[in-house]
Structure 1
């Protein structure tokens, strides 16, 4: 990692008058900065690429999982899974930019930081409204619904924050919350899907990291 080093050397003085009477050169702060070395940065990027090629495992994102079709574009953070369940269209939307890295547990030196899955589920049943639920997967592997709302057709995920009221499910009864989890389970968002999404997020994150390294190499090369 590159840090910003700004060494500042201050000359100690014993009094204000001493500072005022000191020559200007003696009172000038030294602000010498190391010159940027593009080739050194490029070399570090290339070393990282080589290390990943030697020790990393290529991430493969499948096109299908069960009844779900998977679509994504390299160089973008989004992944979409779609399926038809009992006449309803079910869409899982995830964005790895919204999946923060979870630190490894204390005392577990072999564990690495992994992205924590955050995603939304949209369910369309042919009516004018679409139900949407924001979800996450805890480190225990359990699904958590954080918010739920409804929107008209034509409202994109990008517009949802400004146009859709999302109810915080913390205010719901335990029975109602459990029923919502069961509803998602019926639509294919079950325990197996939780595990798959965890792996999918990690693979997408790693795939985009490798592309980022190669983009950095291309950008710095002349």
Structure 2
């Protein structure tokens, strides 16, 4: 059994299925929260502060599992389960962001394996979000001119070219560039380029921008 802080949400309108899934998932050491419909899940929309995934029935009244998945827009890894699956439905599920698509009655081993993989993906997603938050926080420390310098430097322009673009002198650009590297915690131009790509900082800066 796993001593895990991870959380599994189960959304299924069949109470007996929910009870069986809860017993199985809890037996593997995961915490579980159940919802009787997609609408109930959307209305209560739990705040998630740990790795989490969603075990979701596709065919439910009112709001379907596929509609819920599209609404969530990949916020959580989703394992679809269904008693009436076909190839077209499976394709639709994968396009909606499913990590797995399992037929009912669900094989215990298959479901637990799918949950483990989904939670690993959830942790990877959380790590990516934490990294992006950190990078954006660093970028927020840049002055407007430093942001302009960074946007141009990462396009491959030399200091003198950046200076010409911004209507200043090369020595000033060198000073700005040093501060950019320090604030962004980059040790090389290659690393700065990767950071700029991750945070969507482009080189689209107008010529002779105001200092």
Q: TM-score, normalised by structure 1?
A: 0.25
More helix, by proportion: 2
Q: TM-score, normalised by structure 2?
A: 0.25
Q: Which structure would you say has the larger Rg? A: 1
